[in-house]
Amino acid sequence: MEKEPLIKLPWRGRETIESIPPLLEGAQRIEITLPSNYNHALFETLHPGEPPAQLEEIDAAGGPELLVHIAAVSGLEEFSLLTEPLTAVRAMVQVSSPAKIFIILPGANLKSNERIIHPEAEE
């Protein structure tokens, strides 16, 4: 069975979270688009210590443990429910602006202008 290159989901809270585990087997990437009002809170959570005048451009990537940080944002708590299923399939998570969360599954074909930053490579 050929996997879907990209499945796009709008944020509908628990409904969106519950729809993801069944999609993991048939997708290469899943994109969750959050309402724009989450950008500021996600930026502050994922980039602590940045100066207040900093352009709030989110660029964070890692394993499913990144979802724990995302779940610390009010209204996004249910992302913590995905940690276990994403760990089981060895998925990566990427967060970008405007407020989008990408789940990248092993073997995903990325376009030449796309990248995944592996946190361990930055050390």
Q: What is the pTM of this model?
A: 0.81
Give residue limits of the domains in the chain: 7-49+56-108
Q: What is the DSSP string of 14-76?
A: HHHHHHHHHHGGGBSEEEEEPPGGGHHHHHHHHSTT--TTS----EEEESTTHHHHHTTSTT-
- 64 falls in which pLDDT band (50, 70, 90)? very high
pLDDT > 70: what percent of the chain?
83
Give residue-wise pLDDT tens across range 16-37: 999 999 999 888 999 999 998 8
Give residue-wise pLDDT tens across range 96-105: 888 899 999 9
